[in-house]
């Protein structure tokens, strides 16, 4: 059974950086479509980035180069480096995984609930 667990959230001042981690268990990331999502106050859940087992990535337009996804296959861990954080980035951040690699290349990649496996989330708070 595939599971994902996020960590790395916390409080940071505006302009700062945070790196979130997502450890996957039960399957190799190379066989999964994985993604990062967030739910910020006053907005619906939104996809940040998705990465397929082959390493191809799809970013949401609002990222604008501030967030970077990376992975350590040896540790089966996905990372999200977030730079130039703004108070509007405050919210709950989620990692998700799905064995359907085609999901990463579809228009549905940005919808958290489409993913079969979802983490509990990690809180990010950006203070001004």
Q: Rounded distance, CA 57 to CA 3, Å?
A: 21
For residues 35-62, give the mean pLDDT.
93
pLDDT score at 64: 82
| Tokens matching residue 2 | 């595939």
Rounded CA-CA distance 105/90 in Å is 27
- pLDDT tier at 55 (50, 70, 90 boundaries)? confident
The dihedral of CA 96, 109, 31, 55: what is its sign?
Answer: negative
pLDDT at residue 106 above 80? yes
| Count of other CB atoms within 10 angstroms of residue 53 | 18
Chain centroid to CA 120: 12
Residue 30 phi, psi (nearest 5):
-65, -20
Tally Cβ neighbours within 10 Å of residue 86: 11
């Amino acid at each position: 059974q595939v599971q994902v667990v996020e960590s790395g959230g916390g409080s940071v001042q505006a302009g700062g950086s945070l790196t979130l981690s997502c450890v996957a268990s039960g399957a190799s990331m190379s066989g999964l479509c994985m993604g990062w999502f967030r739910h910020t106050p006053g907005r619906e859940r939104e996809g940040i980035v998705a990465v397929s087992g082959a390493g191809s990535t799809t970013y949401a337009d609002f990222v604008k180069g501030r967030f970077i996804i990376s992975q350590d296959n040896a540790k089966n861990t996905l990372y999200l480096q977030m730079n130039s954080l703004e108070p509007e980035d405050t919210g709950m951040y989620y990692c998700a995984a799905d064995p359907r690699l085609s999901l990463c290349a579809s228009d549905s990649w940005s919808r958290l609930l489409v993913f079969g496996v979802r983490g509990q989330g990690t809180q990010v708070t950006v203070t001004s």
